[in-house]
Chains A and B, each alone.
Chain A
């Protein structure tokens, strides 16, 4: 009985708090619970909408996403906007839901992977077309800001030993690897197994059917270590990953654009960000190119600097803070 009373009190308090905060926030919660799962029970990790005028900047669970989160957050802070961080939330499957229900306001995204997540059939031929295609499928409460020039894609990357054995160079394509696919063990994240931009697409687009698949982490230290030790011969490593240069990995060409475009692009909730905030993030995108991103990644991943310090230093040097 006492437990029930506490739960009741907590629920009432939460409802009151939600009522006090922005009314547009609370109106979004019923719709998100209805469209979150056709006939399935409510998502237990859905979270609660953010309160007040604080902008919640989130990130997916890998180093570069955390770094970009810090870049966006610090750029907003420089414009006097209140910011709170939610780093390392999880995969896109989770973060997309959190933006939809208002728990997170800003998230660094990659246009191509996001589009493949929203619409498996889409095959845009330019960055502008990619943004338009995303907006067409995106939840009505969300929008995309300007894309940056910086690109970081999923890739099929082989280690130095495999490259030497099958004569693969940085000019070789995934199709060249497909010819010896039956001898190749591929590693990557558990979600890579089920995605179009993953094993599904590798089979249908390039005919690559590996000997087996090892589910590890999303381009993280486990995948890199397995590739380095030749436990897997090829892996899904992000193309700006600091380990590629360090371990002499070979990133294979993707001429059929399976992994498509992968420009860094902020995904934001329409109601959560002021025009000042939008301008601040677009200014960041205008200055962020692949070379800059590789350099920032290198500082965080190889030189082990704190991503927040790296973000602040770059914003200052770029005149954005």
Chain B
């Protein structure tokens, strides 16, 4: 298959491995944009999801916001924001954050709603205050589901960050956009492979976080 030849040519060319246009720098840029968007999205969606889930109020409004944000086309939003704000990181962050918010919001809300009420009652019976109940009982139990929301957001954002290259920023999308217009498919395929690799690395990263952060009792005692 020629695609594998493209991939091996791309990665074997030593010119692709250093400098401002090299693979390490582009991967770093890509991760920088992705984690920035993910951080902003988590900063917005986690507190909102946890509070609405904990109090059980505002679930409908939240579902509405999540559905609306999901319906926004990333590419269209990017071009619109570019016309409005010009070259820079902000027009790229807006569509990426809009992409990452819904999965985090919905899963953190659902995670809090579906916490087994028995241990929560028991904790209250033992005299724990609402803050202690939230952070010491509900949150640890809800953590696996919350992490799964963050994981889907991370995978989507890492895959979509390629669109930053349309408005002249860096990242791995640069390889795809430049390769297509210069008709150099080796670069296109190489860039796409790297993005797929990064998306898979996100799965591995969140598996690791799950192992380290989730309490063994919640994980199933293994």
Contacts and interface: CB of A to CB of B under 8 A. Distances in A.
Interface in B50-98: 79, 82-83, 86-88
A94 interface: yes
A222 B177 contact: no
A190 B167 CA distance: 11
Interface in A4-44: 40-44
B2 A44 contact: yes
Interface residues on A, range: 20 to 34
A189 B166 CA distance: 10
A215 interface: yes
B14 interface: no
A274 B168 CA distance: 44
Contact of B180 (A90, A187, A194, A218): A90
Given A90-B180, A214-B87, A215-B177, A222 B82 contact: yes
A261 B151 CA distance: 54
Interface in A215-243: 215-216, 218, 221-222, 225-226, 229, 231-232
Contact of A191 (B87, B88, B182, B185): B182
Contacts of B166: 216, 222
Interface in B1-28: 2-3, 5-6
Given A94-B183, A216-B167, A190 B86 contact: no
Contacts of A214: 87, 168
A91 interface: yes
Contact of B181 (A41, A189, A226): A189
Contacts of B3: 41
Interface of A: 40-45, 90-91, 93-94, 97, 187, 189-191, 193-194, 214-216, 218, 221-222, 225-226, 229, 231-232
Given A41-B3, A91-B181, A215-B168, 12 more contacts: A40-B186, A91-B183, A93-B182, A93-B183, A97-B183, A187-B168, A190-B178, A214-B87, A214-B168, A216-B168, A218-B181, A222-B167
Interface of B: 2-3, 5-6, 79, 82-83, 86-88, 165-168, 174, 177-178, 180-183, 185-186
